[in-house]
Structure 1
Amino acid sequence: MKTTFGLSLDGCRPSKPVFDHLFCGPLGLVDVLELRLGLPKTAVGVVTRIAQFLKVLEHASSEEDRFFTESLRVDRWGTASRLLQMRDHLRMAGWNGGEMDSAPARLKDFCEVERLAEGRLTTGIADRIERIRGALSRKPQGLPTIECIEAAEHLPLLLRLLLDDLGARFGCDPTYEDAPVGSNLRLVQDCLTGHDVSGQTWNPADDSIIFASAFSEVTLAQANAHLVKSDSPSSVLLSSAPGIILTDALNVLATPAPAMGSPSCLRPTMQVLGLALEMRWDPPDPSVLLQFLTHPVCPIGSSLRHALAKAVSSHPGIGSHVWNDAIEMQREKLRSDEDLTQADLTTRLDRIDSDLAQWIMIDRSPRQTGASGAALAETAKQVGDWAGRRTATSSDPATARHYATLSSIAVELAEILEKIPNVSPEELSIIREQVMGGGTVAGDRESELGSPESPANPGAIIESADSVIWWGFEAHAIQLPMDWTLTERNYMEGIGVHHQTPEVLLALAQAAARRPFLAASRSIVLLWPRQRGLEQVEPHPILTILRASFPSIPIKDLDRDELAAVTSQVKIQRQVKPLPAKKRWVRISPTAHLGSRPEESYSSTTKFIHRPFEWVFYYKANLRKGAFMEINLAAQRGNLLHRVIERLLEDSCPIQWLTVGKPEFDSWLNNLWYTLLEIEGANFLLPGSLTEGRRLLEDARRSIWELLGQMRKAGVVSAEADVHEDPLQMEDTTIRGNIDLLATNGSGRLAVVDLKFGQAAAKRSELAKNTALQLATYSHLIRSKHGGDWPATAYFILRNSTLLAQDASFFPDARVVPCKSLEPGPEATWHTFLDVWRWRRGQLDAGWIEIPDKGIEPTDGEGDSPSSTPPHEEWQTDVKAPRYDDYQFLTGWEVNP
């Protein structure tokens, strides 16, 4: 069998299959020889070898200090990875692992490590080559005839010796068809093959070779797609840069596209493993839990995980009353499904329990101390098993490949982790990233019938082609050997260990870069962007070499349409249409879409009165921000303090709020706080948020003790928190409310208190203008239920421990906010609100929607539009108050003067 060998030919195949002719690189050659010689294949993943080598290094360091001992303490996996790479390079450079007498200290340490590694480190490619060379010494028959397209001096020493043993011929350059004499391409080919080109000039009218650039990769991809579409079937598309943009451009032109997807470990399927492992840490990170539950690929049933995600979004943690209610609601939904048989019902209920036990309610380990590798391996195995099942059941081949890749990665990671006693979060992240490597390409990126050949390395172009298009003609970093000092290198040279020098590596890269130019028989186009991201992109260094001989080589700018035949810009004259300007009123028809709703709340009535466009968008058009977008920290602080008050006022509370002393209260709060954070505020237990969590605890300690003092001085004898009242008829709808605190004093008088974490200035303004609608609504609901006088009202601001009221008749120590109204109190507030409600209802019934916003003048009702002034002027919307508007781009744009 004839074999063509090249350093870039692993995975390469000729355009036309040739019988009994193999094209391969180092890995392919080693695999073939092991098969021919009957040697067992012992190749394993790189990370498995790193894990093995790490144990060897730790053993070596335990005996005495080594040059890597301190690095090993700081970064075990990073150090092991780097040292294994150095060790493998040493072996490839000719070191046989034996002792090096009088060697420098670092090399002596490597000798000791190699002695300890015997039998404990799986063979790498250098070790496999050594084993093959040993088998070749027995002079076996039937070995392949090898032609090496590389120069012998460009190869690593051990690989060169192997090829010598096989009788290979070196420097067997591929046979290419020359470009036409007199063309610019022929000039370049002559230059690169060492011919004398002095005195010959560049022909500006010849387009056999084109260097082109653009600022945007999108522009470049569109030009490239036009070139591919118009080119001959025997063209080659060399893609040495990410090619997803180019593939999309080809698809737009309905042109067959090669598989050019960039590998990534951030594909949705790949992310499941990382999220599942992150949930093994204590305290659990609510943001990670939310990502896991809302991820498009998740092992938990969709109905359950969406319900749990909503609970986590409002109450960050595991085990809150909202969390438990969500689980029970899912069970009740299944029990009420009459279409389910008893067997199906049992299966689905068991699925809920198993999902929770397997993925959520799991044993967790403290981040500070790390977790046992066996525990983390258990999660990795679970992910692997789940992905394996999905591989077998996925009908889409691309999706099945992603699951198969994830299963393989998870199983390998589990095998590595279960052998490690303890793993820190940082180490887990490093190990997982190393196992995942580049990840996988998008599953739907496959070569389409009729697409051009698309190698990724210029050194792999070993056949002639009519034309070559080089996508990504840009400079790439060459990793130069900088591991060893000059003294160490001189010593190794003296004992026959020869590393590749920077000069050799540069010559090797230059030789590979020549091949696309030599392979093109008609034309070659070389494309690169001027910028990628925020970084400048330099063209390939071979352009500098060519310009030394041909200074006038032009570089076409595709942004200026300098490549007219394949221009990426289509200039279409379109009339400029301005964005709609903001206006105060919008009228729609039919008005039935703006009718009353069956039920309203304080928050919805506030939108209805002050920002009716929000009420229409939110409740009628159902345009709402996603429920799982983020954790609302501002609302969470208030919710946590609310929950403390609820626990304090419960009958089962171990302390009696009416009589408890400060030390006993502080002790109770300290015991409650951590448990409360675990189920509703786990984000405050994470590194970086601990200080904020402690600050919130002090806010709770100070403000709630002040609230107790206010209630005691007011003679409160009973108090209820989070009181839910039934809806009450209001005009053509009903209104409901949940009251934060309902207090009763010794004389039987009631008071409703609304708890706010902040907003002190806004609430003072409401009390002063007698527009505190929330308090009036709650007072009206309680009065309608219990009869008698309207309950007293107050706001309690938790952040600054202040109780605000219009008078001190109920709370004698309240901070009184004088009311400007002639009739202060919730009764007057409620009746004026009803007038404003009818006014706004009449506008909506007529189809008018007001958009009160800054920069839009209110109307007086004289023209076609209604008046912006409500029946009671104190209810006028304050458009200057700072407020985030979810719908700001749906209500028009400010007109620039």
Structure 2
Amino acid sequence: MHITLGLKLDGRLGPSRPDILGQPVVGPMGLLGLLETWLGLSRPEVSTAQRVTSYLGHLRTQAAPSRFYSRSLQADSVGTSAKLLSWRDEWRLGGWDGAAPAGSPQMLVDMAEVEQIANGNIPPGQAERLAAVLAALETGRTPIESMRLVDPLDSFSRAWREVLARLPGVTAWEPEPQGEGLLSELQKSALGAVAGHLRPLANPVADGSVVLVQASTHEAAEHWLSAYCRQMPTDRLLVCESDGDSVDATMMATGGVSSGFRHVSSLRPALQALGLALEMCWDPIDVGRLVEFLSHPIGPFLRRARVRLAKAVAEQPGIGGDAWESAKQEIHGTENGEAILDDIAFWLEGERWNRDTGAPVDALLTRVEKLVDALRKRLVDDGPLNATLGAAIEQCSAVRDGLLELKSQGAPAIAPRMIEQLLEHATPMSSGNPFAPAQVGCLRAESDAAACIDSADEVIWWMPSTPQLPLPLEWTKSELATLRDLGVEVRDPQNELELLSQQWLRPLLVARRRFIMVLPPPGAEEHPVRQLLLKLWPDLKEQLVNLDAQVSNGFVGTLAENVTRTALPPAPQSLELGEPITVPTTDQSYTSMSELFNAPALYAFKRIARMRPASILEARDGNNLLGTLAHRVFEKLFQQADSLNWTDEHAVAWFRDNVDFLLRTEGAILLMHGAGVSLQRFRSVCEHAIRSMMRHLRAAKAIRVHTELPVAGELGDVSLIGKIDLLVELAGGQAVALDMKWRGDKRYADALHDGQHLQLAIYSSLYQQQAGVAPAALGYFILETGAMYVSAPDVIPTAQVRTPPPAATAGLIEQARASWSWRANQWAEGHIDVVPVGGGEDFNGPEGTLPVNGPNAWDKDYMVLLGGWEQ
């Protein structure tokens, strides 16, 4: 067997151009796996999370206050363990035996004392596995006949060099220019420059074998690449070190094929499931994460049930409110409803733990196991998801191993930050997009310049920009000197940088006929190879092909053409349908009636065509939520027996005793971390509003208060329904209809005074039809200030009177009736007005109708369907 080994070949994509058998191309971890298999040393894979938590136990055992890491361990235990374990593994690969002689720096002494108890008692890392391989090679045999190293031998760690020394036929591979003609001259000059002999080219590369390409956006460049590769087939290698998944997506969408770039991401839906599930352990609940957990495509119980609950939370942000219980009743009536309700009780209605003190390990383990069972069941039921669910199950197993290790160490509780870090270390590094594999006929591709070792007629290096440079060493000069005295080989960042400069040349060197560098959009950092090419050939920048501007260029012109700009259609002033439309006349609300009056096209979209914009489930917040919660406070307050006889302090005491339950079930956003100011504001406003309301009601000698009172009646031939926020019954049979608003004193006081209180007028008419008598007064109660504005004097003595013009309420009803008739007649003629936001006199109806104000700004998602997008 003939093996090719390189430091960056573990992530090689391929496919290889020649058919090869018995000639694997591998990186260090690939070769280690082969050696362990041949020597009988294979073992189950150990997750990083398990190794980190295991090492953490030994750090804690040695965590005296004098240790250099003690304070870091106390602040961030898992992060500190991961960092120190990486140091320890690096030193072991460099030859450290775990010792620190007398007089060594304190850091080395502390690490050595931890190593005395950790060595052999933590899952093996790469160094321990190589040591076992080295020992087995003394007596064991491998089928290796030769070994070709594409990176210098001294770039491998000491442990690897000791293993390679025991393998036969190890030879070095030296990159050579593969190009023809002028391209070959450029390649030789680049090699010389890296070796320290910078000599600009004597002759420009004018034969088109070197091309720089640039577009203003990534998307434009991706579309060019797809068209170019389809129309000019050749033996081509695509080198894409970042955003390869985006390139693949565009290639497939435009008729090409995917090269299978593996973009590792913890954002794969299956890999988010565990984090969201464990987030449900904490108190206070994060409402945003709760909605994500419920609406996420992958979860521990049926998605259809979770989406119903998500809608309930979006309506009433919390767990246990009326909307939540209603959703549970619906779920109970479905197939396996009882089992689903048990799952809901376990995941969402059970015990929670404080975010600062953490949760018991056993509780977290139980949740991990239940999620694994759900994922395995789905793995059986849903074959297409096998790849992504397999990675999620692997992630769960790694977190479970880490938690079991912490449990064996006697960890009392696990905080959210530790869970997040375990998830980070447990996420499989192979968790690329399982639905974007390499397809038949794909380009040869590589995701690292160092993996370009096979030549190709054409090489396209996709948007090289900011390179990842070697990290500086993290130890002091005295610590490094001691390590070297101990025979430990520590990596040299300067040597690593020199190796990188050689590896960066490989895409250029393997090009036989043409080398194309697709530059990132302007403004990105220039890659060192691009800078080198401009040093060798300064006029190269003049040869840059601009994909946006140079459509006539022969290199681009066959793939694109200028498109004549066409103006977008303006919004029409009306829709002429050519046939009559009947306006619905049953169970209309004030909202629907207002839409018909002010924006009939909007009414047609919503109420006739029943169109709905795409929406994202999210819990309400801001003043909208605060107003809704305050309405609920007064609704519950006046449901209490004899509440009208309470003192202000009694009513406020009731509020303080009951507000926490209301917030947990319907306003949990205000209980979240960081919402303290909003919570305090809500409590303060409600207490002030309760005191103010009780004083107003006492002054008016109110005998009963109805909240959310349903009313129904007729407006001409139209049946209307609605709910009055507060209907206050007074002695003598009088009543006052009040609308509660969170804020807006001046706006609503002026509306009442100017006779623009249409909604209250409609409700007054409906109440009169229902009760036989009109309310004695109409008004607004402003929660934020506690102010009350009413339309008549001497009804509520403490309220501020804003008397509308004479007969204003009856006039509004007549105008509403006329507006309805006007719109109905228009529709009967097949004519629908298109009113822009803001309305205007040009859109008003005949005399006696209400002014037309146009749609609300938030309804533009409907109105853009009619055109006028540029306005």
Work out whether the TM-score is over 0.5. yes
Measure how far apart 1:675 and its partner are: 0.8
Structure 2 CA distance for aligned equivalents of residues 550 and 894 of structure 1: 48
Query: Which deviations, in whole Å up to 9, do the C-alpha atoms of 1:237-288 show, x marking residues without a partner?
Result: 2222221332234335533331125222212333222222222211222222
**Correspondent of 2:818 among 830, 835, 858:** 835
Measure how far apart 1:732 and its partner are: 2.9
Q: 1:705-854 maps to which residues of 2 (within 5 A)?
A: 705-725=691-711, 727-820=712-805, 822-824=806-808, 826-853=809-836
| 8 A Cα contact 1:202 1:552, kept in partner | no
Query: Which deviations, in whole Å up to 9, do the C-alpha atoms of 1:223-245 show, x marking residues without a partner?
Result: 43344335555432222222133
Measure how far apart 1:789 and its partner are: 4.8
Structure 1 CA distance for aligned equivalents of residues 381 and 259 of structure 2: 28
Structure 2 CA distance for aligned equivalents of residues 60 and 852 of structure 1: 75
Matched letter for residue 149 of structure 1: V
Measure how far apart 1:122 and its partner are: 0.9
Query: Which deviations, in whole Å up to 9, do the C-alpha atoms of 1:470-504 show, x marking residues without a partner?
Result: 22433412223411222222222222112221221
Answer yes or no: is 1:516 the counterpart of 2:502. no
Structure 2 CA distance for aligned equivalents of residues 719 and 22 of structure 1: 83
What secondary structure sits across from 1:599 in the alignment?
A: coil
Measure how far apart 1:517 and its partner are: 3.1
| 8 A Cα contact 1:372 1:423, kept in partner | yes
Structure 1 CA distance for aligned equivalents of residues 521 and 330 of structure 2: 57
Which residue matches 1:647?
A: 636
Does 683-692 or 131-140 show the bigger shift? 131-140
Matched letter for residue 647 of structure 2: G
Which residue matches 1:565?
A: 555
Measure how far apart 1:805 and its partner are: 0.9
Matched letter for residue 635 of structure 1: N
| 8 A Cα contact 1:750 1:792, kept in partner | yes
Answer yes or no: is 1:60 the counterpart of 2:62. yes
Structure 2 CA distance for aligned equivalents of residues 573 and 42 of structure 1: 59
Structure 1 CA distance for aligned equivalents of residues 320 and 371 of structure 2: 24
Q: 1:523-562 maps to which residues of 2 (within 5 A)?
A: 523-531=514-522, 536-539=524-527, 541-554=528-541, 556-559=544-547, 560-561=549-550
Q: 1:467-486 maps to which residues of 2 (within 5 A)?
A: 467-486=458-477
Measure how far apart 1:75 and its partner are: 1.9
Which residue matches 2:71?
A: 70
Measure how far apart 1:123 and its partner are: 1.0
Structure 2 CA distance for aligned equivalents of residues 417 and 316 of structure 1: 32
| 8 A Cα contact 1:461 1:516, kept in partner | yes
What secondary structure sits across from 2:24 in the alignment?
A: strand
Measure how far apart 1:631 and its partner are: 3.1
What secondary structure sits across from 1:523 in the alignment?
A: strand
What secondary structure sits across from 2:740 in the alignment?
A: strand
Query: Which deviations, in whole Å up to 9, do the C-alpha atoms of 1:407-441 show, x marking residues without a partner?
Result: 22122212323443322222322222232265732
Which residue matches 1:491?
A: 482
Measure how far apart 1:545 and its partner are: 4.1
Which residue matches 2:242?
A: 241
Which residue matches 2:264?
A: 263
| 8 A Cα contact 1:294 1:306, kept in partner | yes
Judging changes above 3 Å, is the alpha-carbon distance between structure 1 residues 260 and 880 closer, same or farther for their aligned structure 2 residues? Answer: closer
Structure 2 CA distance for aligned equivalents of residues 658 and 177 of structure 1: 93
Matched letter for residue 192 of structure 1: L
Which residue matches 2:648?
A: 662
Measure how far apart 1:102 and its partner are: 2.6
| 8 A Cα contact 2:777 2:791, kept in partner | no
| 8 A Cα contact 2:743 2:783, kept in partner | yes
Measure how far apart 1:890 and its partner are: 4.2
Structure 2 CA distance for aligned equivalents of residues 805 and 9 of structure 1: 79
Q: 1:193-592 maps to which residues of 2 (within 5 A)?
A: 201-230=202-231, 234-332=235-333, 334=334, 347-396=335-384, 399-420=385-406, 421=411, 422-436=413-427, 440-531=431-522, 536-539=524-527, 541-554=528-541, 556-559=544-547, 560-561=549-550, 564-566=554-556, 570-581=560-571, 585-592=573-580
Matched letter for residue 213 of structure 2: A
Judging changes above 3 Å, is the alpha-carbon distance between structure 1 residues 785 and 518 closer, same or farther for their aligned structure 2 residues? Answer: closer
Judging changes above 3 Å, is the alpha-carbon distance between structure 1 residues 46 and 852 closer, same or farther for their aligned structure 2 residues? Answer: same
Matched letter for residue 847 of structure 2: P
| 8 A Cα contact 1:530 1:537, kept in partner | no
Does 372-381 or 77-86 show the bigger shift? 372-381
Structure 1 CA distance for aligned equivalents of residues 331 and 10 of structure 2: 53
Which residue matches 2:665?
A: 679
Does 156-165 or 695-704 show the bigger shift? 156-165
Matched letter for residue 705 of structure 1: R
Which residue matches 1:637?
A: 626
Q: Which runs of 5+ in 1 are unaligned?
A: 335-346, 860-866
Matched letter for residue 4 of structure 2: T
| 8 A Cα contact 1:794 1:805, kept in partner | yes
Query: What is the identity percentage for the equivalent residue pairs of Structure 1 and Structure 2?
Result: 24
Structure 1 CA distance for aligned equivalents of residues 746 and 855 of structure 2: 14
Structure 1 CA distance for aligned equivalents of residues 132 and 305 of structure 2: 55
Does 359-368 or 85-94 show the bigger shift? 359-368
Measure how far apart 1:443 and its partner are: 2.3
Which residue matches 2:682?
A: 696
Answer yes or no: is 1:9 the counterpart of 2:12. no
| 8 A Cα contact 1:740 1:755, kept in partner | yes
Q: Which runs of 5+ in 2 are unaligned?
A: none
Structure 1 CA distance for aligned equivalents of residues 337 and 415 of structure 2: 36
Which residue matches 1:92?
A: 93
Structure 2 CA distance for aligned equivalents of residues 392 and 66 of structure 1: 50
Measure how far apart 1:572 and its partner are: 2.7
| 8 A Cα contact 1:561 1:569, kept in partner | no
| 8 A Cα contact 2:587 2:721, kept in partner | yes
Judging changes above 3 Å, is the alpha-carbon distance between structure 1 residues 309 and 111 closer, same or farther for their aligned structure 2 residues? Answer: same
Measure how far apart 1:198 and its partner are: 6.0
Judging changes above 3 Å, is the alpha-carbon distance between structure 1 residues 699 and 538 closer, same or farther for their aligned structure 2 residues? Answer: same
Matched letter for residue 29 of structure 1: L
Which residue matches 1:602?
A: 590
What secondary structure sits across from 2:733 in the alignment?
A: coil
What secondary structure sits across from 1:747 in the alignment?
A: helix
Which residue matches 1:344?
A: none
Matched letter for residue 680 of structure 2: R
Measure how far apart 1:628 and its partner are: 4.8
| 8 A Cα contact 2:6 2:150, kept in partner | yes
| 8 A Cα contact 1:777 1:830, kept in partner | yes
Structure 2 CA distance for aligned equivalents of residues 199 and 616 of structure 1: 71
| 8 A Cα contact 1:471 1:527, kept in partner | yes
Aligned length: 858
Which residue matches 2:851?
A: 876
RMSD: 3.0
Measure how far apart 1:18 and its partner are: 3.2
| 8 A Cα contact 2:286 2:672, kept in partner | yes
TM-score by length of 1: 0.89
| 8 A Cα contact 2:189 2:200, kept in partner | no
Measure how far apart 1:691 and its partner are: 1.8
Structure 2 CA distance for aligned equivalents of residues 198 and 311 of structure 1: 71
